[in-house]
């Protein structure tokens, strides 16, 4: 049991959802509580994108779309905001003109936020931010297992000679030894590649691949079982690029690919991971300028809610 009851979200039966501060799920800010078990933090950064810009506006759009979330998760049978003190930690402001400095600032910010044991769910921002977040997670837990939900591998070496972009974070992470190479998997991969060497290089780094077609053919239960076997009891980091969803479910992203997963499939797979040793997560590449009726932002908000709920399960053991 927690020493003091958590301060929960604003009661939407008393204050309309469209009123008040737009924190994630209308949760308290980190400066309004004495402790934070789980923090949702934004990183408005998109200097690492290779096609459409705009993910710097993702955290604000995700928070706005999260106003409709409710405090009880029936599928996981948990009230995450009652089980743990969950807060909105605001944004980590990083340099929009210098990727190296932005990475350093984010890594320092993540280490500071997690120093007292707080778990982070970070909302971006482009996928470049996964590298400093993985560095921070590995500093506390050692090399971590990784489930990477994405249309793309993000294990390329460079773009235009640059080693730090949204297409390279997991290549750098593997090279730095901060990933447990016995427990790595991409989920939702699809679309054309530059050549067969992309897959060969990815295998060399230790990654397995579950394509979006595999999810369709095998179904949720078989997919979840395979992922759980691969991860085991290792410390796990989950990184979700919202473009893992088909553009019909997530048009508001920078590099959309046809043939993706549905939002239902993604959420059901995440829920199937309950009980694994989750230590941190991110949701990235929401670019609201290309969204329609908040379709992508709503999906990203629900993914974030499910990740928070998975982390909160630790507090009801």
Question: Which of 55, 207, 48 has the alpha carbon at shortest distance from 122?
Answer: 55
Query: Cα-flanking dihedrals φ and ψ of residue 258, to 5°?
Result: -70, 155
Q: Give the integer Cα–Cα distance in Å for 280 and 129.
A: 13
The CA-based angle 274-109-236, given to 5 degrees, is: 20
Q: What is the dihedral of CA 183, 184, 190, 193, to 10 degrees?
A: -130
Q: How many helices (H) and strands (E) does the chain have?
A: 10, 8
Preceding peptide of 232 cis, ω within 30°: no
Q: Where are the domains of the chain?
A: 25-316
The secondary element (H helix, E strand) that includes residue 280 is strand 278-284
The domain at 25-316 falls in which architecture? 3-Layer(aba) Sandwich (3.40)
* pLDDT digit string (tens) for the chain, length 317 residues: 456 789 999 888 888 888 888 999 999 999 999 999 999 999 999 999 999 999 999 999 999 999 999 999 999 999 999 999 999 999 999 999 999 999 999 999 999 999 999 999 999 999 999 999 999 999 999 999 999 999 999 999 999 999 999 999 999 999 999 999 999 999 999 999 999 999 999 999 999 999 999 999 999 999 999 999 999 999 999 999 999 999 999 999 999 999 999 999 999 999 999 999 999 999 999 999 999 999 999 999 999 999 999 999 999 86
Residue 176's contacts (CB-CB under 8 Å, 6 or more residues apart) are 135
Spatial contact of 284 and 130, defined as CB atoms under 8 Å apart:
yes
Radius of gyration for the alpha carbons in the chain, expressed in angstroms and rounded = 18
Model confidence, pTM: 0.97
């Amino acid at each position: 049991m927690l020493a003091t009851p958590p301060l929960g979200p604003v009661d939407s039966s008393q204050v309309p959802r469209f009123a008040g501060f737009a924190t994630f799920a209308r949760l308290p800010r980190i400066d309004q509580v004495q402790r934070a078990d789980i923090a949702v933090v934004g990183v408005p950064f998109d200097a690492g994108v290779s096609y459409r810009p705009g993910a710097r506006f993702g955290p604000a759009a995700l928070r706005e779309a999260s106003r409709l979330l409710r405090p009880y998760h029936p599928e996981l049978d948990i009230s995450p905001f009652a089980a743990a003190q969950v807060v909105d930690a605001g944004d980590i402001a990083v340099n929009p003109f210098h990727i190296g400095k932005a990475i350093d600032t984010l890594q320092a910010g993540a280490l500071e936020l997690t120093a007292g044991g707080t778990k982070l769910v970070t909302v971006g921002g482009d996928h470049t931010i996964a590298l400093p977040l993985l560095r921070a997670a590995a500093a506390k837990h050692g090399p971590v297992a990784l489930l990477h939900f994405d249309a793309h591998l993000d294990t390329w070496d460079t773009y235009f000679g640059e080693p730090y972009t949204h297409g390279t974070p997991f290549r750098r992470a593997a090279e730095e030894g901060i990933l447990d190479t016995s427990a790595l998997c991409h989920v939702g991969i699809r679309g054309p590649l530059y050549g067969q060497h992309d897959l060969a290089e990815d295998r060399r780094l230790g990654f397995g691949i579950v394509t979006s077609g595999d999810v369709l053919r095998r179904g949720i239960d078989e997919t979840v079982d395979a992922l759980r076997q691969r991860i085991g009891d290792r410390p796990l980091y989950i990184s979700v690029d919202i473009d893992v969803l088909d553009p019909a479910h997530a048009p508001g992203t920078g590099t959309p690919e046809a043939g993706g997963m549905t939002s239902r499939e993604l959420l059901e797979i995440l829920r199937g991971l309950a009980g694994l040793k989750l230590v941190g997560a991110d949701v990235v590449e929401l670019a609201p300028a290309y969204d329609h009726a908040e379709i992508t932002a709503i999906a990203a908000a629900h993914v974030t809610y499910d990740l928070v709920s998975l982390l909160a399960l630790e507090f009801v053991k």
